[in-house]
Amino acid sequence: MTMSRRQFVGSVAGAGITSLAAPHFLSAQPSEPIRIGLLAAKTGPLASGGIDMDLALTMFLRERENTLAGRKVELIVADTAGVPATARTKAQELVEKNNVHCIIGPLAAFEALAIADYLTEKEMPTLGVAAAEDMTQRHPSPWFVRLTSTSAQCAYPLADYAAKELKYKRIVTIADDFAYGHEMCAGFQRSFEDSGGKIIQKIFTPLATPDYGSYVAQVKAGDAIFLGTAGSNGFRFLRQFIEYGLKDKMAVIGGMTALDESVLRNMGDEALGILTTSWYSAELDNPLNKAFAPAFRKQFKYDPGYYAGSTYVSGEVLEVALKSIQANVEDKKALMAAIRGSNADTVRGVIKFDGSGNAIGNVYIRKVTKSDGRLVNSVIKTYPDVTQFWTYDKAAFLKNPVYSRDYPPAKNLEQ
């Protein structure tokens, strides 16, 4: 066959253009690595959590020499900066430019909500960290699972514990004024009042509150105060709460991020004795965590907490799922089915998934104690296999509106 020079040039250029236009046609070779995208806020106000997420996942992969189920793994970390619009651009980058096979993260609810539609549209398997209730309740996605907990999932057991074992009757709640805080307090209130207690005051403070003095002064006398804060806010509130001498008058209990290990390392003995709830603690006594937590502490000089735990657990679940499908990540439906059916044993204990993709797992009541000269969250009670619906009927639960500032209504507030 003969070919004129012009034809040749044309066909080469054509081939070049096609390959540029459709890079995804080139994938699906078994020798290719599995590409995992991590969306983490590594700059901005949420950076400390985001960096922990990155460190723990990188550590997980390094322990396995970057190989899961016999196939090489490439981790691509994208910095969302804690800004929804950036999170969306970064999600697009991971999906469209890096052609990742699955995504882990992001952390903040508003980041997750900003990209939820997009990831569902692109049919991208996602292992979420953010706690927004409706992502696995009224608007679940076949492509989304959550390995941590909903905002309220860990608050129910603590409310139960406070009412039944601590015999508290009247509790004040204080939380950050955004959905995570609203949802957590709503869940706490519902469970606590169903057990006979009363929420006498609900305080919501802006996410960036420089001074908690005016809020501390408002706190009414009750048996205890429940902290539904995130990031360093719990620590900053607590410091002023103690300065005002209130800690001797009422007990302090906290949600899953209030006294996270990442906050605890900045606190002194004033934190001793505070009870919190979470799906994880660096002190958990199981073989996997006995290996993970000391290794993490050795490498980074502090304990892993909520954020580090979340991506490590994601890695563990993903590994089990990949093994069951012989690492054939190209079949996204099979990957999702394998993740949902993984029943993986992880550093937080065994987790299963319910029909909407949310984790069913142990929730731990933890008490701040001192061990080896540092503060730790030691586990004092385990609530096994807690679901996002707690003891409530799922159908009735989903008929109600999503938890918010005003729902369920607080009937026992004191003026």
Partner 1 sequence: MKWIGAALLAGSLLLPPLFAGDFYINLASQILIAAIFALSLNLLVGFGGMTSLGHASYLGVGAYISALLTSRYGFGHGAAALLSIAGTTAMAAFFGVIALRASGLGFLMITLALSQVLWGLAYRMSNVTNGDNGVAGLTRPAPFGISLDSPISFYWFALIVATFALVMMAIFVSSAFGSSLKGVRDQPRRMAALGFNPWLIRWITFVYAGFWGGVAGLLYVYYHKYIHPTSLSTTSSAEALLGVIAGGSGTLGGPAVGAALVLLLKNYVSAYLERWNMLLGLVFLFIVLVMPTGIVPGVSRLTTRLRGGVR
- What residues line the site for partner 1 (CB under 8 A)? 17, 20-21, 23, 42-43, 78-79, 81, 83-86, 88-90, 92-93, 96-97, 109-110, 113-114, 116-118, 132, 177-179, 206-207, 405
Identity of the residue, 91 or 386, whose beta carbon is nearer to partner 1 in the bound complex: 91
Smallest distance from partner 1 to CB 332, Å: 17
HEC secondary structure over 15-73: HHHHHHHCHHHHCCCCCCCEEEEEEECCCCCCHHHHHHHHHHHHHHHHHCCCEECCEEE
The answer to whether the bond into 106 is cis (omega within 30° of 0) is yes
State the chain's maximal CA–CA distance in angstroms. Answer: 95
Q: How far is the CB of 57 from partner 1 (least distance, A)?
A: 16
| Beta bridge mates, 174 | 203, 227
CB of 328 to partner 1, least distance (A): 24
Q: Are 146 and 128 in contact (CB under 8 A)?
A: yes
Alpha helices in 244-393 (DSSP H): 261-264, 287-300, 306-324, 332-340
Residue among 137 and 387 whose Cβ is closer to partner 1: 137
Q: How far is the CB of 15 from partner 1 (least distance, A)?
A: 12
Residue (23 or 196) nearer to partner 1, CB: 23
Q: What DSSP designation does 96 have?
A: I
Whole-Å CA distances, 155 to 150, 190, 277, 288, 390: 9, 10, 7, 25, 10
Question: In angstroms, what is the minimal distance from the CB of 338 to partner 1?
Answer: 27
Q: What is the rounded distance in angstroms from the CA atom of residue 393 to the CA atom of residue 160? A: 17
Dig out the tokens for 53 from the structure.
């997420």
CB nearer partner 1, residue 47 or residue 398: 47
For 276, phi and psi rounded to 5 degrees? -135, 170
Contact in structure between 200 and 226 (CB atoms under 8 Å): no
d(C-alpha 371, C-alpha 8), whole Å = 74
Token representation of residue 286 = 């199981």
- Closest separation in Å from C-beta 140 to partner 1: 14
| CB-nearer residue toward partner 1: 79 or 303 | 79
Nearest to 111 by CA among 69, 34, 53, 170: 53
The CB-of-124 to partner 1 minimum distance in angstroms stands at 13
Least separation in angstroms between CB 94 and partner 1 = 9
User: Shortest approach of partner 1 to residue 95 CB, angstroms?
Assistant: 8
Which is closer to partner 1, CB of 143 or CB of 280? 143
Nearer to partner 1, 98 or 328 (CB): 98
Cα separation, 78 vs 36, in Å, equals 11
Least distance (Å) from partner 1 to the CB of residue 79?
6
With a CB cutoff of 8 Å and minimum separation 6, the contacts of 154 are 255, 256, 277, 278, 279, 363, 386
On whether the CB atoms of residues 321 and 335 are closer than 8 A, the answer is: yes
Closest approach of partner 1 to the CB of residue 103, in Å: 15
Q: For partner 1, which is the closer residue by CB, 51 or 347? A: 51
Q: With respect to partner 1, which residue has the nearer C-beta, 112 or 253? A: 112
Instruction: Tell me whether residue 3 or residue 12 sits nearer to partner 1 (CB atom).
Output: 12
Q: How many CA atoms lie within 13 A of 229 on its CB side?
A: 26
Q: Which is nearer to partner 1, 182 or 198 (CB)?
A: 182
**Among 295, 247, 296, residue whose Cα is nearest residue 269:** 247
Q: What is the Cα–Cα distance from 192 to 209, expressed in whole angstroms?
A: 27
